[in-house]
Amino acid sequence: MKTEKLTTKNYIFIGSMLFGMFFGAGNLIFPIHLGQLASSNWFPSAIGLLITGTLLPLLAIIAISITKAGGIYDLAKPIGQKYATIFMILMCATLGPLFATPRTATTPFQIAFGQHLTASQTPIALFIYSLIFFGITWWFSRKPTGIIDSIGKLLNPAFLILLAIIFGFAFTLPMGHAASQATTSLYQHDAFLNGFLQGYNTMDALAGLLFGIAIVTIIKSLGVKRPGNIAKAAAKSSLISISLEALIYLILIWIGATSLQYFKLSADGGIAFSQIANHFMGLPGEIILGIMATLTCLTTAIGLSTSFAEALHTKFPKISYALWNGLTCGLSLMIANIGLDQIIAWSTPMLMFLYPLAITLIALSILSPLFKQARIVYIMTTIFTIIPAIIDGIASAPAIISGSAWAKAILNLDQAILPFAGYGMDWAIPALIGLILGLAIYGLQMLKQRKLVTQ
C-alpha cells in the first residue's frame, strides 16, 4: 500500500498559505488593544486569546477533514437542513458584508488617518476612502484571477518585514515595563476569560470553517486520501501558521501593554498601532504602515467578497455570482461608513452568539467518530447551547438593546440561574449537559438495537 505522507516542503507550503488566509492587518489591532486593556496582566490574557485566535481555527480545519464535510453547510447538516442553511448564511454574512469585509476598509483607514483627522473631517474622508477601496474590490472580484494571489504573495512578506522592524525597535528600545502599568477593572481578576472572549474578534475560528475545505482539498491533491491521515496532515501543516500567529500575537499584546507608558488607552487598536509606528519610525513609518495595511486588507477584501459570492451562488444558483458580488461590495461600503468602533460594537453580539455554536460544532465534529455522527448528540448539544448563546449576544449588544428593560430582565434571570453568566460563558455548562444527554440517549438507542438483533 502506498504511504500517504507529505514532504517537509508540502507542510511549509500549506502552512504558509494558511497563514496568508488567516492573518491580515485586522489581526493586528485586537492584540494591541488587548495589551493596553490587560497591561500588567497581559500574559494570561494572551493565553486566552491564543486559544480562540489560533487553537480553535486549527480544530476547525481538523473538524472539516475528519467529517469529510464540503463546507459549513455539510458540517452543520446533522443538526438539520434548515439549521445548517441559517447557520451558513449567518456565517457568510458575518465574514462577508456585515462585519469582516467592511472592517477590511475601516482598519487600514484608522491606522493611516485615525489620529490625524478631526471628528468633522472623518466621515467624508472615510466615505471617499471606502468608495475607492470597495470600487477596487468589486473590480477585481468580478472575475477572480491569480493576479491578486500573486500580489498577496508579495505584500504579505513585505508587511511582515515592516512588522519585524517595529518589533525590533520595541525590543531594543522598549517604551516601558508592562508590569508597571495599571490594569483596567475587567482584567484585574478575569484576564484569561476576557482574553478568550477578545479572541472572538479575530473571527479566525469562523474563517477556519470556511477555509478548511480548501486546505483539505490541497492535502488530497498531494496524495493523502484517508480521513485520519488528512487530519494529521492538516494539524501538522497548520502548526507552522499557528506558531507564527501565536508569536506575533504575544509580541503585539506585550507592545500594547508597554505603550501605556507613552500613550493613553486608545478607543481601538488601529489608533494604538499608528501611534506605536510613529513613535518608533516617525511619520514616514506611519505612512508606509498605512499603505501596506491598505494593500494587504484590499487582498483580504477581494478574497472575502469572492468567497461570499461563490458560497451563496452555489447554495442559491438562481442568483448570479455577479449579483452576489455586487451586493457584498455595496453593503460593505455602506456599513464601513459607520466607522471601525461601531462595526466592532455591533459585531460583538453576533460573535458572542455564533462562537458558542461554532465551538460546539467543531467539538462535535471532532468527536463524531465516537458516536458515529448520531444526529441526537448534535441536536441535544445545540439545543442546550443556543439559548445561552442568544442571551450572550443580547448582553454584549450596544446599550440601546442591552440596556432595555426586557433585556435587563432576561440578563438578571440568566445570571441567577447559569454559572459564568457574568463572563459571557454561560453556554459552557448547558452545552456539556446537552452533550451528556445526547450521548446517553445515543447509548440507549444502541442498546435497544443490540437487543433487537439478539432476539
224 part of a folded domain: yes
Please check whether residues 211 and 122 belong to one and the same domain.
yes
User: Exposed, middle or buried, 47 (CB in 10 Å: 0-12/13-18/19+)?
Assistant: middle
**pLDDT at residue number 293:** 84
Residues 318 and 360 in one domain: no
**Rounded alpha-carbon distances, angstroms, from residue 43 to 50, 270, 278, 334, 415:** 10, 21, 25, 37, 28
Q: Is residue 392 part of a domain?
A: yes
Residues 130 and 274 placed together within one structural domain of the fold: yes
301 & 394 share domain: no
Q: Looking at the structure, do residues 323 and 420 belong to the same domain, yes or no? A: no
Domain-embedded: residue 342: no
- Rg of the chain taking only CA atoms, in angstroms: 22
Confidence (pLDDT) at 151? 61
Q: The domain spanning residue 76 has which CATH number?
A: 1.20.1740.10
Domain C-terminal end among 299, 318, 337: 337
Residues 330 and 352 in one domain: no
Query: Could you tell me if 29 and 116 lie in one domain?
Result: yes
Q: Which pLDDT belongs to residue 1?
A: 45
Question: Of the residues 307, 337, 367, which one is the last residue of a structural domain?
Answer: 337
Within this chain, do residues 57 and 94 fall inside the same structural domain, yes or no? yes
Residue 109 included in any domain: yes
Q: Which residue has the cell 459564568?
A: 420
Among candidate residues 200, 193, 208, the one with its CA nearest the CA of residue 365: 208
Inside any domain, residue 3: no
Q: For residues 293-318, b (16+ Cβ closer than 10 Å) or e, as one string?
A: bbbbbbbbbbbbbbbbbebbbeeeee
**DSSP-derived secondary structure for 102-159:** HHHHHHHHHHHHTTTS-TTTHHHHHHHHHHHHHHHHHHHHSS--HHHHHHHHHHHHHH
Predicted local confidence at residue 143, as pLDDT: 74
76 in the same domain as 43: yes
413 and 328 in a common domain: no
Residue 413 lies in a domain: yes
Range of the domain at 455: 347-455
Number of domains in the chain: 2
Please report whether residue 191 resides in a domain: yes
Tell me which of 293, 318, 337 is where a domain ends: 337
User: Do 317 and 415 lie in a common domain?
Assistant: no
Furthest C-alpha separation in the chain: 82
Task: Clarify whether residues 253 and 369 are in a common domain.
Answer: no
The answer to whether residue 2 is domain-embedded is no
Question: Please, what sign has the CA dihedral across residues 184, 185, 190, 193?
Answer: negative
Per-10-residue mean pLDDT of the chain, 455 residues long, equals: 72 82 77 90 93 92 84 91 93 90 91 84 94 93 65 71 87 82 76 92 88 80 81 84 90 91 84 87 84 83 83 86 93 93 91 96 93 93 96 92 92 90 90 96 88 70
